[in-house]
Structure 1
Amino acid sequence: MNPPLKRILPAALVVFSCAGIGLKRPGPPVEPVVIPPSTPIVPVETQTHSILNMVQSLLHSAFTSIDHSSHQAALDSLSVATDHLVASYQDEPSVALLSRETADALTRAAIDIYFDALPGSAPIKPDAPIARLLQSLPDDLKSSLLTNTRYRQLHMKVLAGTSPIRIDVNARVLEKIAFFQRNGQRIFRTWMGRKGTYGPLIRRTLRKEGLPEDLIYLSMIESGFNTKAYSRARAVGMWQFVSHTGRMYGLRRDTWVDERRDPEKATRAAARHLRHLYNLFGDWQLVITAYNCGQGRLQRSMQADGTQDFWKLDSLPKETRNHLPKFMAVLLMARDPAFFDVYDLESDDPLSFDVVLVSDPIDLLLAAQCAGTTRETMQTLNPELRLGYSPPQKGRKTYALRVPFNTSDRFLDRYARIPSDKKVQMIDYKVRSGDTISKIAFSFGVRSSTVMDANGVRNPRRLRAGQRLKIPIHPSKSKHAQALTSHSRSTTAGKGEKVVYRVTRGDTLWDIAKSQGVTPEQIRAWNKIRTTGHIHPGDRLTLWIPDTPLPKGSEPLVETNVYHRVRRGDTLWDIARAYSTSIRELKRLNNIRNASQIKAGDRLQVREASAAVE
């Protein structure tokens, strides 16, 4: 028996002048007292004295049983005593057989005994006697008990027992709770706010899949319900899928879309993944652990440590060892924030939207104008769109675009009246001899993967002359693209004014092309210079200058910075010539002082984002 309890219990029992109830330790455990059958009506004073004696006797019996390590006998006695205490709080004060003062004193004693009768970190189920007792307590008594360590521990165990996932209340979990109560409270508040937005969707999906709804807190600790979350392990979205796991569960990832950021699709994929892990491990604590470190890593740790008990898996990575305690901490705090000194929580509005089916790429800014909302709202509703507009569709396929709730009719009506030149354009391009995917993409200011995805090209080496490609162009670049396509048709060899240009020291194809109003790709084609070929001072280049010069601002655009991964044998000279730039420019962009410093595997910037867009 805990020493403080030995002092508290006698005081609680003696204060009611219950003679004969000593606390000397008898030999055998005392059997729980059974409530006697109904008897003829007796005066209230007599009933009160009888109930008081019975509760005191039951508490004394439980106290003695614990001293003899008979915890179940103690719980049996406490259960009967609890029934009387709960009844005293539920009855009207005028008819209650125990006064509030008496009931409160006996309840405090019962809580102390319950604490010793229920050792360890195991949760307490909601129908357990102690759970019913704590639930019945008046608010003023609960407030006075908030500083009582035993009461707090029991209350947390009762909160833990409301979850279908086993929640342990131990030192590691309490440590995480302390963090979120103090230094991490701002983070917890943010997470709880976002839970208002995505919680209904996640719970609905988990319920439909037959999984515990409390797994919602796994998303909370993985990402804080942030659809844009990106980890150092390259895990993405609110469920933190890495690329290969996302593909396993059908999440699309390409130039246009990353469905790991889609709250609906990612949650369905996470539910299937969690079901797979549960079928494998059969324990939700291990499932949550495997979700963080991977099933293979967990299996190796279980084998190395010789146990399936999470709390004894010492070989797990530090992050994973903290993962489950963090999950348990936020779940408990979310059950009763005020108990953990977190007040006035704000909850964001639930996610609500309409879905419109679109067949053409739609810029989110234009979509926002059609729906009568902001671009930021459209991005929040469609976080999976990587480029700011919906992907092109083949044939009669459509894309499901989310718009704010109750705006679908307005959107469709207004979008139907938008001129085609204000929409994302699909430029028709005919492949010429010497073209490569990267050249074409570079010329139009888009990524190579954008061109490949838009045309279903898997192997860029299979490009052939005469093939027609669709190049998706944002409205802001449509004039540039049209200029390039018309200009390329008018500058084939033999058309326009022929000029012979002599290369001087420091020249690059890029500089020459820009000064003469043509493109580097055209110079390569006219002079049969391979991509890896070089030009040297004194070389003579044949150029065909168009009658209509390339419009200002229509030079090849670079949508983002361009990089080169150094291969074995590469030199700055080779790289500069391959990208039509200069060694000086490479040194400037990469802060290189000595050209011999580069090595295989280095990532060098070879071009800055274009400043040609006006």
Structure 2
Amino acid sequence: VWALSLPVVHAQPLSFAARAAAAETDDGKVPDVSTGAIPTVVPPLVNQPFPAKPTRKDERMSRAEVMFEEGRKLYQAGNVADARKLFDEALDLVLNSKADPVDRAHFDKRFEELVAKIHRLDVAGLGAGAAPGEENFDKAPIDDILSLTFPIDPKIKPMVRDEVAATVSQLPLEATDAVLSFINYFSGERGRGTIRAGLRRAGRYKPMISRILDEEGIPQEFIFLAQAESGFLPRAVSYMSAGGMWQFIRGRGAEYGLRQDAYVDERFDPELATRAAARHLRDLYHQFGDWYLAIAAYNCGPGNVDRAVEKTGYADVWELRSRGVLPLETSNYVPIILAMTIMSKNPKNYGLDDIIYEEPLQYDTVELNAMTSLALIADLTGQPVSGIKELNPALLKDVAPAGYRLHVPKGTLPSLMAGLELVPESKRLAWRVHRTEPGEDMASVARQFGTTPANLLAVNAGLKEDLHPGALVVVPGAPPPAPRAVSASRARPTKYARSKAPVRPAARSTARSATSRFVPAAAVKTTAKTTAKPPVRKAATTIAGNRSRRG
């Protein structure tokens, strides 16, 4: 309901003489009269800002937010079916409105927050039988559009082709109709929000990703594969249970050395997953000799691409796409990445030049020699547990196991190591350390942690009951229960994510003799000695011959 709020002004009644005098003045001041009370000056209405009247789209967004709160209560009460129905209706209410909001940026932010809240409830199972402390996962953004098609705006064709011709890129760029259709989508209302959010988050990880891609001999443009896969969300999980910034399924992650157990899933570690993804892409390039085919194989598995090439006799992703021999999601996967690359390299033309990138993450790393609670690590680094978990998205529980390479905020490593020396290795899962504030003593610290001064004195040799500010007090405690294994396969969105073709484990194979569009210098020096040539059509007999040489 739209209403105008004005300040309430209390005035005393005026006499007739005072009202007449006030009416005759030009400056609005009430003259001094001997009869009647003088009122408080009323601010003129013309000086009061009038808020813009909400449109139907704004009103629908407000109703959708109310519906979400109602659905959340149902979800927490265990009524999952009715809750999801309300969530669907809330999103449909907003999406089916064609009106424009008053403030587009504010509206988009509200809608993204609504979708994110619904997804967190759905994926994490809040209120629907999830165990206390169960970890949340983010939805993989690409799931929503992989199986969709979008129209082409003929007006952008000449501009995009000029951009492609003028853009410097290690990855070959093409402005096919499929690429143009996704540029059109990402230029629109919903798509622009997705690409802008991803680019903002990219600032956190770009220096690290760029370094690793260079070290592994992979074109720098493959950073946009991570944007397409996860929007740079380290804990993104797809409908098919692929996880992390680079969306590895379990088998492929294990193949590239990513640890997965009850405590750690390194698919969610941005740095380790980036290294694994770069090596996987390099292997796929050596197998297919073409970056586009390597991208397709990254999405649907090398076996599917091998069969498509063998069936048609073409080692060209556009030909395979036009013949419908690749999964639909894979057919759209390559153009999505190319569209994001072209737009990001020409930001001014797509309204992306005003993005404020998040600051790069900076941290120190230490390998733990004993299982340690994150609460203890937070105590010693002066950070909240949430801050430690943000730097360590691979941790599935609030503990870090022995052998885990822990990231802590830059500059806090010395205090962490000094504090850990105070706690026996066997006690680091349960004990805490408290840094005292002015006015605290052993009794107040004991009350804070639910123990006694005698217990504290027993494990803090050399400390007295009167503590000086900044003293480290070791606090003994009971160990928490052992964590249960957490599987990303539990994190399956309902209506809000579409199926993604998984990257299927397949036997490793040697490099094939296919020619390539581009070979990075680093890859030539370290792993291959081929010369880049234009792609050529390959007959089925040639493909079969190459396959037989691979065994």
Superposition TM-score, scaled by structure 2 size: 0.48
Superposition TM-score, scaled by structure 1 size: 0.44
Bigger Rg, which one: 1
Which has the bigger relative contact order, CA under 8 A and spacing at least 6? Answer: 2
